[in-house]
Amino acid sequence: MAPYSKLSKEKLKNLKSDLEKQFEEIKKKGLHLDMSRGKPSKAQLDIGIGMMDVLTSESDLVSSDGVDCRNYGVLDGISDARKLLADLSEVPERSVIIYGNSSLNVMFDTMSRAMTHGFMGSTPWGRLDHVKFLCPVPGYDRHFAITEFFGIEMINVPLLETGPDMDMVEELVAKDPLIKGIWCVPKYSNPTGISYSDETVRRFARLKPAAKDFRIFWDNAYSIHHLYDDKRVVVLELLNECIKVGNPDIVIKFISTSKVSFPGSGIAALAASRGNLEDARRYMKYQTIGHDKLNQLRHVRYFKDMLGVYEHMRKHAAILRPKFEKVDEVLTKELGGLGIGTWTKPLGGYFISFDSMEGCAKAIVAKAKEAGLVMTDAGATYPYGKDPKDCNIRIAPSFPTVEELEIASKIFVLSVKLVSIEKLLNA
């Protein structure tokens, strides 16, 4: 079909009336569909159900390093769990501390720690009048929410196909000592699905910020969340790159098994240089007597090693792949060539990123809602919820079934079409 922009107003109006009828038909069904959350489906949870059986009252609850996992203690986590999450983080065991059930919590804690105690002896950020953070956009709303919650000013940096615009990052951090950090999702980024190039990682490792306590918050949320076994993306490991160029303290890596084992009951980890880990331990020593080691043991006994984790992730991929493909199929069939939207075809992660015509995203999300489809709020992928062009929409295909996604995608494309026509008619 011809691009909408080439159609006469007359044709657009006819098309609109046609589409409105279709939309009304769907509305009548009173559907409740949700493509808003990067939440694993029940089928994905069932993959790991065997984890419920690995520890029983008959099990040896002592870890291989001799710790009774039921009792207090062991701030860093049991050795086997450190080893597993170190492998997952592509760093040595000594570079990892295990935390509780969520890496979001570790990121929040790390930000909170910077506010009250700084990093490695720096002035606590909360004692400064003004602190800024770089936010590659579009990005993850919860990163932005944490940053805003602590009163830190956010600066948008465009996320390119190769990662954040490094020319801009380098220039900004070199000249402004108030810029204290940057959020990164280096692989299968939320929401665009892009992965950072080797060159981007190397430039991050060589970054020379004016602020000595500048930190790269490296959220490795989707490091092993490939959709295609034969198209696995490899991102250069940053900590090692930083060490190689004598810049070991600039990065803090975060990882968890939330979307590997169970989202509510995984284990999380922080990986960083020795200096950063000592800094983190100094804090943890007051914060806790140790995280849940039985759950660490449960993970280790269940997965055994990275091969076990990879095998497990293939099962997740088998469930997720048809969902991503279904959404893409509907979008391609219904929007292909119309010039009213583009979208990503990620090789991993949890999201498809959709860009509408300028000024249409909010209206599209509102329209979809009329027909019972909940999307992530338009704007959520930008700091302060403000997408300057009002065009980005995050699509999360993981939770609904393929059948539900087919209907949801149809509602979505109808909404895109109707709002786009409206926009063109009013142009």
Q: Does residue 281 touch a second copy according to CB under 8 A?
A: no
Q: Does residue 381 touch a second copy according to CB under 8 A?
A: no
Residue 169 Cβ vs a second copy, minimum distance, rounded to whole Å: 25
Provide the sign of the torsion angle of the four alpha carbons 74, 80, 81, 82, taken in this order: positive
Q: Among residues 92, 126, 177, 322, which is the contact residue for a second copy, using CB under 8 A?
A: 126
Q: For a second copy, which is the closer residue by CB, 79 or 95?
A: 79
Q: Does residue 389 touch a second copy according to CB under 8 A?
A: no
Q: For a second copy, which is the closer residue by CB, 59 or 122?
A: 59
Residue 282 Cβ vs a second copy, minimum distance, rounded to whole Å: 9
Residue by residue, DSSP assigns 83-121 as: HHHHHHHTS-GGGEEE-SS-HHHHHHHHHHHHHHH-STT
Long-range contacts of range 58-62, CB-CB < 8 Å, 24 or more positions apart?
59/301, 61/294, 61/297
Residue 93 CA to residue 333 CA, distance in Å, equals 48
CB 227 within 8 A of CB 319: no
Residue 287 Cβ vs a second copy, minimum distance, rounded to whole Å: 5
Q: Among residues 39, 315, 362, 423, which is the contact residue for a second copy, using CB under 8 A?
A: 39
Q: For a second copy, which is the closer residue by CB, 47 or 134?
A: 47
Q: Does residue 43 touch a second copy according to CB under 8 A?
A: no
Kind plus residue range of the DSSP H or E element containing 256: strand 251-256
Q: Does residue 71 touch a second copy according to CB under 8 A?
A: yes
Q: Cα 314 from chain centroid?
A: 19
Q: Among residues 89, 95, 102, 381, which is the contact residue for a second copy, using CB under 8 A?
A: 102
Stretch that binds a second copy, among 44-52, 181-189, 227-235, 243-251 (CB under 8 A): 44-52
Q: Does residue 105 touch a second copy according to CB under 8 A?
A: yes
Provide the sign of the torsion angle of the four alpha carbons 1, 352, 35, 322, taken in this order: positive
Q: For a second copy, which is the closer residue by CB, 26 or 396?
A: 396
- Counting Cβ atoms within 10 Å, is residue 425 exposed (0-12), middle (13-18) or buried (19+)? exposed
Site for a second copy in 250-279 (CB under 8 A): 258, 262-265
E-strand spans in 147-224? 153-160, 163-164, 179-184, 215-219
Q: Does residue 40 touch a second copy according to CB under 8 A?
A: yes
Q: Which amino acid is at 314?
A: R
Q: For a second copy, which is the closer residue by CB, 84 or 111?
A: 111
Q: For a second copy, which is the closer residue by CB, 113 or 187?
A: 113
Q: Cα 282 from chain centroid?
A: 28
Binding mask 127-166 for a second copy (x = CB under 8 A): x--------------x--xx--xx----------------
Q: Beta strands 179-184 and 132-137: pairing type?
A: parallel
Q: Among residues 36, 112, 197, 240, which is the contact residue for a second copy, using CB under 8 A?
A: 112
Q: Tokens 């079934």 — which residue?
A: 401
Q: Among residues 3, 50, 121, 308, which is the contact residue for a second copy, using CB under 8 A?
A: 50
Write out the two tokens for 55. 């520890």
Stretch that binds a second copy, among 65-73, 238-246, 310-318, 350-358 (CB under 8 A): 65-73
Q: For a second copy, which is the closer residue by CB, 247 or 265?
A: 265
Residue 15 Cβ vs a second copy, minimum distance, rounded to whole Å: 40
Bridge partners of 47, per DSSP, are none
Residue 359 CA to residue 353 CA, distance in Å, equals 16
* Nearest CA-CA partner of 211 in 183, 184, 244, 249: 249
Give the interface with a second copy as residue ranges (CB under 8 A): 37, 39-40, 42, 45, 48-50, 52-53, 55-57, 59, 61, 68-74, 100-102, 104-105, 108-109, 112, 115-117, 124, 126-127, 142, 145-146, 149-150, 258, 262-265, 283, 286-295
